[in-house]
Structure 1
């Protein structure tokens, strides 16, 4: 499970921000990965890397300030293909490409058809434009709403925590919409990503998770110590209308000991 929230402030004349992105990566605690950093093969790309064997340097979230792009991947549950191709490559290839979203999606559909099901979120920062592609439905959708929430479900049928979270994000981004509020904005966004409030009942979530477990997936912050699984990374990206980009990543450091967790905070700034 992972979750992504977006607030598009481009049409809000009072806001200094064109885009606010916040995301949690939920994963097995023992799955190897690399923290957010510039990539060796393309230093113009910043993102984490999945180091699991066979993942081909893929990622769940990456940013290219040079190409004005952000890519995010959310897995869909319950469909497992034998010998499926790695999904994380789709984000990596998008942010390393100069192709616009529609062209890129057309070019990768053959590969995507051999992957387990996913939702790919493509963000072009110039306007910005936000689009999703789901290989389960072969559907590319554009999203115009100011506040959006996506998790491990079809974009058109969000989980309850995604619906509730986008309203909370809207409140935060409406109150703290000036660059002078950046410190408080970042603090509230990180606290938002740490929310353990459960959003129940959620029949859609229950249908995809075993009884007695699904409730623990109904919060924005996920923790299942018995399965060595949960939220490992918080990401906040702020993009101002003047083109300044602030990136904050807070991630659990391996080996992950839940009795003594060590979180590393990384901050970066860029100009589009």
Structure 2
């Protein structure tokens, strides 16, 4: 289970931010992974790596400064196909390519239909100089739907995009409060603090009939934005924040539990990457 919230501020005249994306990665604590960093084969791509056998070194979230794309994968629980193909490379292949999402989906449609169900959240944030409004789209292979979203505040988790979980709706409200309070770059530290608080919210968001249907055994434990199930050694182990200003300054802030993970007293690794998007415009 994972969750993502997005603010598109291009049309908010009072805001100095073009895009804000915040996300939690929920995973088994013992599943091996590599934290956010530039990739050796292409330093224009930032992302973690899933080191689990059979996942092809794929990723759940990645950003390409060259192609100006962000991709994020969300699991759709409930349906397991026999001999399903790995979803590990979906995000990687999307951000590495220079084609739009619709063309990417068309080129991968056969593979996607052989994978267990997922939602791909795709953000194309474009060039700052000509003030391109970020495009937010989702594709899910459950009903083969590709959709573009135009709301200023968006949220997606482990359900069909147009059927949001209750905690997604709650988180969107929390994100809106944070973005309304801290719209200026000189309040960035306070904004980040508020965004982390959103991602760390352990408030239960019930009732949620859809979550109960999809995960009947543990729906209560999964009803909060921050998930913690110590007995199963499963929960939120990574927070990611991406900030893009209207002048092109970009920050990635990631907080990850340090392995081996003690879920009751975790140690967190914090990393930050900052640059101007117009300076990351050559393939390396």
Please report the TM-score for the alignment, with normalisation by the length of structure 2. 0.94
Which string of whole-angstrom CA distances, capped at 9 and with x for unpartnered residues, describes residues 130-159 of structure 1?
Answer: 000000111000000000010000000000
Give the match's secondary structure for 2:220.
helix
Kindly indicate whether residue 223 of structure 2 is the aligned counterpart of residue 215 of structure 1.
Answer: no
Stretches of structure 2 that go unaligned for 5 or more consecutive residues are 127-132, 278-284
**Please, which of 211, 232, 235 is the counterpart of residue 230 of structure 1?**
235
Q: Name the structure 2 match of 1:13.
A: 13
Q: Name the structure 1 match of 2:265.
A: 260
CA distance in 1, matches of 2:88, 2:12: 33
Q: Name the structure 2 match of 1:102.
A: 102
Displacement of 1:166: 0.6
CA distance in 1, matches of 2:184, 2:85: 43
CA distance in 2, matches of 1:79, 1:249: 31
4+ residue segments displaced more than 4 Å: none
Q: Name the structure 2 match of 1:124.
A: 124
Q: Name the structure 2 match of 1:203.
A: 209
Residue pairs, 1:60-209, within 5 angstroms: 60-126=60-126, 127-209=133-215
Stretches of structure 1 that go unaligned for 5 or more consecutive residues are none
CA distance in 1, matches of 2:98, 2:210: 37
Contact 1:248 1:268 survives alignment (8 Å)? yes
Give the match's secondary structure for 2:82.
coil
Q: Name the structure 2 match of 1:250.
A: 255
CA distance in 1, matches of 2:42, 2:109: 24
Give the stretch that moved more between structures: 24-33 or 86-95. Answer: 86-95
Displacement of 1:57: 1.4
Contact 1:7 1:148 survives alignment (8 Å)? yes
CA RMSD of aligned residues (A): 0.9
CA distance in 1, matches of 2:214, 2:229: 16
Contact 1:65 1:271 survives alignment (8 Å)? no
CA distance in 2, matches of 1:208, 1:113: 20
CA distance in 1, matches of 2:21, 2:178: 12
Contact 1:15 1:178 survives alignment (8 Å)? yes
Name the count of aligned residue pairs: 271
